[in-house]
Amino acid sequence: MPYFERADTPVLLAAYTFSDYTCSMNILVVDDHSEVRTSIAQFITALGHTVVEAVSGNQAIGMIHANAISLIISDINMPNGDGFELLAVVNDMEHAPPVALMTAFGDNEVGIRALKSGACDYIHKPIDVRDIHNLLTTVESVTQLPAKQTLQHEADGIIVYSSKIAEQLRLCERIHTTPELPAFISGKTGTGKELFARRIHHGGNFHNTDPFIAVNCAAIAPSLFEAELFGYADGAFTGATTGGAKGKLALAAGGTVFLDEIAELPKDQQAKLLRVLESKRWYPIGSDTEEHLQARIVCAANVNLLEHVQSGAFREDLYYRLKVLRIQLPPLCEEPNAIPLLAQEFANDCRTKWGRGFTSIEDRAAALLSAAPWPGNIRQLRHYVEELCMLHDDTVLREHMLVPKGNPATETFAKPNRKASAIIIPQLLLTPDAEDLPDDHFPLETFQAALIAAALKKHHYSPVKAAAYLGISRKVLYTLRKRYGLLKERDDTH
């Protein structure tokens, strides 16, 4: 294969098997040299993909829609429509496949121009098959994500919208088998902590009738907390109920006590809770009869409990006692691709309950939903969708409905979600009617350098992970880092 850089191409090909890919893609290879097209096509076909060939940019344009192309790999210098002309036409398509450009000149300036023009990558000739393999892997992972992502509904109301949620759900069911140990759930407001506490309680047995008692620690006056949790005897204090009263720990015998917002627990009560967790017994207020713990204890916090420990507001020994079995619920902004799916699901609920709600979401509205930070997470998204369904009769959720002037909800979309995917952010910034760009100038290279630096930091300066995240090859990432002075000494060896 004279057009490949590597002499050991057959050996490398044996290492790259069809099992590396989750699906077969239709790939359009465009080059006016038949030898180049054949060499690339043979390699890609051996990986389990389908290849369509074109000799010019003009010929390629007619093949894109007819063949449901997933990726275009095109030479730059060709008669009858060069690579940049083809790229410009593809960029104007509604459902444009990604384009990677090839150049024989080895000129990094041409590569930079390709990226600025909208190419997903550029490849130098002679071609290294590893670059082709990395390109296919990246494109497959990006293009297949929305198709793979689905919602799974649980009978207890939990919606599984990501692998992280699914894993925490499985962990809940494992924790269910050890009722003698306390469990701790951490997560921001609106992430569904009580739903996951209930899953720990019933362990997937949705017909479980054992008591589940939820206690909001922030809603109970400090002076009443001990009586609420531990109970009291007759005449224990002024105003005590005649005959005394059982506390939540006793009432939940055989079941679960859920202590939400545990960070708000008074410091003196923290010591008493720790003793109950360790000794499994306590005395009700005013009683000399010891009671034994027969309930599971699940706690939750929407703040960083370790910071409360460091500030002295929360006991360190209680913190470490609670965190043995821990569930961590991610914020919604970490799964931007799931947000439109959830919004549509909540709209479907509105149609079921009230007979009104949108049946689809236009692309620009979906991008706005995905890029918003949603500090209130699932709960905020659900309430916002319910509001939209009540305010609008349209069956399509449109962009203008999300940002009406004078609507306080606009604040949701004024602070973009920093964790939204790199595909969504440019769409929001570069819409023709974008109003949030700087007035004087906005150098593309400055934005690109900042984006690359942020991607590297996000992935702990791993070039492999950062390149995959940005949808470019490691070689392209190295070139851009060198151009913008983002290389570290250890990277100079490439």
Residue 368 belongs to a domain with what CATH number?
A: 1.10.8.60
Q: Which of 435, 452, 426, 425 is nearest to 370 (CA)?
A: 425
156 in any annotated domain: no
Give CA separation, 483 vs 112, 134, 193, 450, 467, in Å.
10, 22, 46, 13, 15
Same domain, 193 and 278: yes
Same domain, 116 and 171: no
56 in any annotated domain: yes
Tokens matching residue 313: 């507001």
Same domain, 45 and 112: yes
Same domain, 178 and 288: yes
Domain with 35, as residue range(s), is 9-148
pTM above 0.75, yes or no: no
Same domain, 284 and 364: no
Same domain, 175 and 298: yes
Determine contact, residues 259/217, Cβ cutoff 8 Å: yes
356 in any annotated domain: yes
Specify the residue for token string 């370790």: 306
Q: How many other CB atoms are found less than 10 A from the CB of residue 482? A: 14
List phi, psi (to 5°) of 155. Answer: -65, -20
Same domain, 138 and 247: no
Single residue among 280, 298, 329 that ends a domain in this structure:
329
Same domain, 32 and 123: yes
CA distance 159 to 378: 10
Same domain, 323 and 183: yes
pLDDT at 254: 95
Tokens matching residue 139: 């494109």
Same domain, 169 and 141: no
Q: Into how many domains does the chain fold? A: 4
Same domain, 274 and 199: yes
Single residue among 291, 306, 329 that ends a domain in this structure:
329
Specify the residue for token string 């809940």: 172
- Show pLDDT as tens, one digit a residue, over the chain (494 residues): 345 554 443 334 434 444 344 457 889 999 998 888 988 998 898 888 889 999 998 899 888 877 778 899 999 988 888 899 999 898 888 667 889 898 765 566 777 677 667 777 778 888 888 888 878 876 765 544 344 467 888 888 899 988 889 888 888 888 898 898 899 999 999 999 999 999 999 998 888 899 999 999 988 888 888 889 999 988 777 767 777 889 999 999 999 999 999 999 989 899 999 999 999 999 999 888 899 999 999 999 999 999 999 999 999 999 999 888 889 999 998 888 899 999 999 999 999 998 888 999 988 888 888 888 888 899 999 999 999 999 888 889 988 888 654 444 445 554 545 444 333 333 334 444 445 555 555 556 666 777 888 888 788 778 888 888 888 877 778 777 777 677 654 444 34
Give CA separation, 11 vs 7, 15, 422, in Å.
9, 7, 34
Sort 492 into a burial class: Cβ within 10 Å, 0-12 / 13-18 / 19+.
exposed
Tokens matching residue 10: 């057959």
pLDDT at 412: 55
Same domain, 301 and 344: no
Determine contact, residues 327/171, Cβ cutoff 8 Å: yes
